Amino acid sequence: MTKSITGYLIDAKAGTIRSVKIDREDVLKSVYAHIDCTCVDVVRIGDYHIAYCDDNGLVDGLECFTQLSGFPWPLAGNLLVTGVNEEGDSVSPTHSIDLVAGQFSISRPVFDPDFEHIDEPGVIGIRVRAFNIRVERNRPTIVNPEA
């Protein structure tokens, strides 16, 4: 038996997903290190996969958040996806990284400036009148599919 399993780390801020190694002997310690938190929650993805997430991720101000297809609320911070066996132990995922990436979308606010033209005595130019805010959603980009 190998000392590690594979997991898929979703880095929400970077908008990426990549394969990582998880220590089979201390899965929880590896999870904390990969998603950079001290309190995790687990979200089921079908019968054979789970996503570890920061249990307190939605508390502070957010630069972005992640949505899991069919899951009712947003997930904040980094996520670590693993497989899960019948005993509930984390194992390497059976789905490809491409298939897992397709189940997630990362949402982030985008500020579009609304300009107004200035044509006053001695001043000609433009200035920002306001910002329109929209949410951009993207699937995580795979950064090392062969790892």
Model pTM score: 0.85
Please indicate, yes or no, if residue 54 is contained in any of the structural domains: yes
| Per-residue pLDDT in tens (0 to 9) along the chain, 147 residues | 678 999 999 999 999 999 999 998 899 999 999 999 889 999 999 999 999 999 888 887 888 999 999 999 999 999 999 999 999 899 999 999 999 999 999 999 999 999 999 888 888 899 899 999 999 999 999 997 544
Please indicate, yes or no, if residue 147 is contained in any of the structural domains: no
Task: Read off the tokens for 52.
Answer: 């570890």
Please indicate, yes or no, if residue 124 is contained in any of the structural domains: yes
Tell the residue number behind the tokens 């997430």, with chain if given.
Answer: 53
Question: Which pLDDT belongs to residue 123?
Answer: 83
Please indicate, yes or no, if residue 131 is contained in any of the structural domains: yes
Full domain range(s) for residue 117: 4-142
Question: Which pLDDT belongs to residue 44?
Answer: 94
What angle (nearest 5°) sits at the alpha carbon of residue 22, between those of residues 20 and 28?
130
Q: For the chain, how many structural domains are there in total? A: 1
Please indicate, yes or no, if residue 10 is contained in any of the structural domains: yes
3-state per-residue secondary structure call for the chain: CCCEEEEEEEECCCCEEEEEEEEHHHHHHHHHHHHCCCCEEEEEECCCEEEEEECCCCCCCCCCEEEECCCCCCECCCEEEEEECCCCCEECCCCCHHHHHCCEEEEEEEEEEEEEEEEECCEEEEEEEEEEEEEEEECCEECCCCC
Question: Which pLDDT belongs to residue 64?
Answer: 93
Residue 7 phi/psi, 5-degree rounding, is -135, 170
CA dist 95 and 85 (Å) reads 13
